[in-house]
Structure 1
Amino acid sequence: MQTVLVIDDDLFVLSLVSDIVQSAGYHVVTVQSPEAAFQQDLENISAILCDYNMPEMNGADVLIAMRELKECHAPFIFLTGHEQLDDLIPVAIRYGAELLPKPIHPVELIRLLMKQLANVAA
């Protein structure tokens, strides 16, 4: 079973996304902070769903740290309600991440997750 790491400081969103992903048949690990995410065994993570706006560091910084410091190349999807994406889009393109705007639509989330995981398998 593939494992999806969900990073979001908002407990409601964390629970909602976890429920959606679990209902699609994935194992889910949830954390409320980037630091907690970095402490996970990232070799067993198949994909990462990450909020963009968090108090400690933003999602772009998390993605850069995952790729460059933790050498984690799991598919990465930003979950964002962030209006100004000028700083996010270049990082997403550089590291092959996807953007999913909030509010989250379950079908779109699962479709994007399955697409990202299929790209890794190909």
Structure 2
Amino acid sequence: MAKKILIVDDAKTIRQQVNFTLTKSGFEVIEAESGREGIEKLKANKDIDAIISDINMPEMNGIEMVEAINGDASLPHPPILILTTEGATEIVAQAKRAGASGWIVKPFKPEMLIEAVKKLTKS
């Protein structure tokens, strides 16, 4: 059975790139445009194996989403990979404190993304 990955990014082109890369490697992909929508998709799909999220998004950013997921005992807690243009060490540290499992800076190499997701989902 394919591992289910939730992509949370307000940029449609990034969601499409990540979706294409992961689908090609045998993953099932669900998309969300904001942290708030990401949480709704997680509630509706409790079998999500990992989340890939941007940081800078309207409504609810990636760090706020990570904090909200990890602070809600009723939600599953899949590993969360941050995929963003932000490379500042303070933002990386903030995401890790919030509970993010890993970090990839855009633009990403498809092989790197696949390797990171396989590691997170133990596939």
- TM interval, shorter chain, is 0.7 to 0.9
TM-score by length of structure 2 reads 0.87
What residue number does 2:8 align with? 7
Return the letter of the residue paired with 2:84: T
Task: Give 5+ residue unaligned stretches, structure 1.
Answer: none
Q: Residues of 2 paired with 1:81 and 1:94: CA distance?
A: 18
Whether 1:25 and 2:26 are equivalent positions in the alignment is yes
Matches within 5 A, 1:67-78: 67-69=70-72, 71-78=75-82
Q: Residues of 1 paired with 2:98 and 2:69: CA distance?
A: 13
What residue number does 2:60 align with? 57
Residue 93 (structure 1) shift: 4.9
Partner deviation per Cα, 1:56-95 (whole Å, 9 max, x = no partner)? 2221111111111253310110001014230332431562
Deviation >3 Å, runs of 4+: none
Task: Give 5+ residue unaligned stretches, structure 2.
Answer: none
Q: Residues of 2 paired with 1:3 and 1:79: CA distance?
A: 17
User: Is the 1:53–1:59 Cα contact (8 Å) retained in structure 2?
Assistant: yes
Secondary structure at the residue paired with 2:71? Answer: helix
Change (3 A) 1:91 1:12: closer
What residue number does 1:36 align with? 37
What residue number does 2:88 align with? 84
Secondary structure at the residue paired with 1:116? Answer: helix
Number of equivalences: 119
Give the percent of matched residue pairs that are identical in Structure 1 and Structure 2.
24
Superposition CA RMSD, Å: 1.8
User: Is the 1:66–1:73 Cα contact (8 Å) retained in structure 2?
Assistant: yes
What residue number does 2:104 align with? 100
Whether 1:112 and 2:99 are equivalent positions in the alignment is no
TM-score by length of structure 1 reads 0.87
